[in-house]
Chain A
Amino acid sequence: MAEHFDLGVMDLTEEYRGAIERGFARVYQSVKRKKVQFGAENMISYDVEVLSFPIAVMLVSLINDDLLRNIYATAEAKKCSELMAQERADILELADELELPFRTASDGDEEKLLAIRLVDYLSLSPQIWGEKWRLVNRRVDAGEVYATDLELARILEEKIRRTVLERTRARVEGLKLPEPLDQRSKELTDIWRDYRAKMYPEARVEPQDIPPCMDRLMKRLTRGENLSHVERRTLVSYLANVGWTEDGMMSLLKNSPDFNERIARYQLEHLTGSRGKGKKYLPPSCATMRMYGLCFPDRWCAGIRHPLRYRRGR
């Protein structure tokens, strides 16, 4: 770990208490506030800040829970995104640092569009963020996708999230830790266990006739992946129409890495008709699901036009 400092795990003794505490705080804040705080005090010691990151990653890896991994990676990416000045030059510099190749469009576009390799764009899956990110609604030419600098910044945030997530997947079982780190690791394990039990009871996923499009959304959500607004709205309207209770849906939605109970409750009540004009929304039709890029048909989907009509073994 921390190649930059040429340190091994067993070197992280009392001498590095500051970095250990900051590493602990990064994970703690991501769990409690869904965000890693970064203030002036963190700028005082560069070494502490830099070293605290691999420590935080290790603490997350030790707990070995995909939901925590996703929460932590999302929080770290959000922090970077906030720190990233929304200036074109900074964004382009970060793209270089993160090794995301791009080139400036050379055809005199007013928007000064940036061309990103299509495989990079698709690997980061921005198409799931909404219609404007779908390939069909973008300029695609000769293996390149065009984006504005702010759109590139959003893509970089996702790249950071993926990178952090990947790093937390390192296998660390049975790793022996020095005293100060061991103490904080145990503490964090207890905090996470209590927090998960309280906030994220195991979601109820019924193995009934769930169409593959909805099944995919549910699986992604239970893995702690961040669904887009359209995806959440689609899933909730489907579940509400197949008889899930609001509490059941809330416990499922709590798996979102950026879950906010008040907003989620409001949206859920709106979709299920218990708020507003009392209209209960239907999930999108198969045609609309295809338009959103959320249709992943299997053989039982042949001939049906609405996810609610899906039945296995017809």
Chain B
Amino acid sequence: MRDQDVRFLKSVFAEYYSKYSEAVYVPPPVNSREVGFVVWPERAMVRHMSFPSLTDIRRRIMEDTPADAYHSCAVYEFPEKPMGYKNELWVDLAFDVDAKDVRPDCLNDATYSVCRKCGHHRKGVRKTCPDCSQQYQVVEFISLECIKSTGEQAKKLHAALVEEIGVDSKEISVYFSGHMGFHVYVTSKAIGELGADARREIASYLALEGVTGGHATSKGDLGGIGAKRMNKRLLNEVLDLVSNPADHKDILGSSGVGLVEQNAPRLLPSLKKGEIHGLVNLLGIAKTKKVLKRALQRATVIVDPSVTMDVHRIFRMPGTLNSKSGLPKQLVTLEEIDKGVLYSLPEYGRGNVQLSVVFAPEIEIGHESVGPFSNEVVTVPRYIGAYFILKGVASVG
């Protein structure tokens, strides 16, 4: 990255922090959390820091304007010591809902291979530019559809945590990551004492791993899953599907929709007990399997299990800017997810900047829509300029 680009980025970051340093947040107890910064210009990670208070962290971030700032989910006795000497006291349960796991198809659609030398670009991941044999740069551009899908998962996760895992909703915080995913924190002390195996089990449970074999059998149940132990989320989806068969015409067919509609009042009471034989008798094994597969897809909560089980993981600090996009990680409500999280972004970097853009598709951030651009000099709002530079497809001037 050129010096002038780094200077520009630092100025946009500094403007954000001068206005919104109060948004920077680390869950208490702040002084027992490990803090890490990624610093300009070489983007090196500095870890194992600790600060007495949130005020000190905010002050340091305003002074240093790091590219990224992180905090540990773990609460340590000695947060500043090397790993292995920190003595972990408890660890917030944290989830990463990422577009690469939730909607790889959608992410692929937003991914371009861009040749920084000649501006040639293609969708998807490619190796070298056919025009100048230069290595392509693979860029994931912001996609509202990806954010919408990950947001839906974050909401499902929130509901499952409350209704099934039994977490008080006051102990759950949902954050937009500043890129295309969401981070969900659970700050319950009882759950905080669970080890990696238990956390893995929670992630696995939310993803309904192991129910995949639970298709209808000749016995008329869901494989090994007995009636009284059928997963509640899965059961609810089966019930919803049977109550609204017209929404699933693609798997039921027209005749199947009619059959289910006619028989739903008779089927629902036994289905509520987890008994699937009525549905098997009505639709046959093959179609019932399709119904269950659809219900399973809809019931699954997709999270990255390696993040949830890693008790030493550091997470992006809420209220700080994400160097993948220049957008802030911020606390969001479930209603804001519905409305679109990019519409609730704070205002910063609203002046204009002139950039040389190699390539960018049309992108939409909040109320702003720019592009597409190809090998041209453009004038865009500074925060969008920062976005293109951080994506490696533009330079100041």
Contacts and interface: CB of A to CB of B under 8 A. Distances in A.
Instruction: Answer whether A and B are interacting partners.
Output: yes
A293 interface: yes
A137 B225 contact: yes
B11 interface: no
B81 to A, nearest CB: 22
Nearest to A139: B229
B35 to A, nearest CB: 23
A290 B206 CA distance: 12
The range of chain A's interface size is 20 to 34
Contacts of A134: 201, 204-205, 210
B89 to A, nearest CB: 16
Contact of A138 (B166, B167, B229): B229
B98 to A, nearest CB: 12
Contacts of B163: 141-142
B247 to A, nearest CB: 26
A156 interface: no
B367 interface: no
Interface string B225-258: 1001111100000000000000000000000000
Interface residues of B, number: 34
A139 to B, nearest CB: 5
A128 B209 CA distance: 14
B52 to A, nearest CB: 31
Interface string B311-344: 0000000000000000000000000000000000
B352 interface: no
A137 B209 contact: no
B210 A291 contact: yes
Contacts of A143: 164-167
A29 interface: no
Interface stretch (A84-92, A117-125, A183-191, A242-250): A117-125
Contacts of A301: 306
Nearest to B199: A122
Given A141-B232, A291-B213, A136 B205 contact: yes
B286 to A, nearest CB: 22
A113 B205 contact: no
A111 interface: yes
Contacts of B230: 139
B347 interface: no
A111 B228 CA distance: 9
Max chain B Cβ within 10 angstroms of own Cβ: one of A109, A134, A136, A296:
A136
Nearest to B234: A136
Contacts of B196: 296
B232 A131 contact: no
A295 interface: yes
Contacts, number: 95
A290 B165 contact: no
Nearest to B197: A125
Contacts of A142: 163-164, 166
Nearest to B211: A136
B287 interface: no
Interface in A207-239: none
Interface in A269-314: 290-293, 295-299, 301
B194 interface: yes
B305 A136 contact: no
A127 interface: yes
Contact of A135 (B193, B195, B205, B212): B205
A135 B224 contact: no
Interface string A123-153: 1010110011011111111111010000000
B166 A144 contact: yes
B198 interface: yes
A128 B229 contact: no
> What is the interface of chain B mostly: helix, strand, loop, or mixed?
helix
B117 to A, nearest CB: 28
B309 interface: yes
A113 B210 contact: no
B39 interface: no
A131 B210 contact: yes
Contacts of B200: 293, 295-296
B204 A123 contact: no
A140 B164 contact: yes
B228 A113 contact: yes
Given A122-B202, A123-B198, A291 B229 contact: no
Nearest to A138: B229
A118 B166 contact: yes
B38 interface: no
Contacts of A290: 204, 209-210
Given A136-B231, A137-B225, A297-B306, A122 B210 contact: no
Given A125-B198, A127-B197, A140 B210 contact: no
Q: Which of B205, B208, B230 has the most CB of A within 10 A?
A: B205
B320 to A, nearest CB: 24
A140 B201 contact: no
A127 B201 contact: yes
Contacts of B201: 122, 125, 127, 134-135, 293
B202 A135 contact: yes
A296 B200 CA distance: 8
B306 A136 contact: no
B363 interface: no
Contact of B194 (A123, A128, A295, A299): A123
B190 A119 contact: yes
Interface string B64-101: 00000000000000000000000000000000000000
Contacts of B224: 131-132, 137
Given A143-B166, A290-B204, A109 B194 contact: no
Interface of B: 163-167, 190-191, 193-198, 200-202, 204-205, 208-213, 224-225, 228-232, 305-306, 309
19 contacts: A109-B228, A119-B193, A122-B194, A122-B201, A122-B202, A131-B224, A135-B204, A135-B205, A136-B204, A136-B209, A136-B210, A136-B211, A138-B229, A143-B167, A290-B210, A293-B201, A293-B204, A296-B196, A297-B306
Interface of A: 109, 111, 113, 118-119, 122-123, 125, 127-128, 131-132, 134-144, 146, 290-293, 295-299, 301
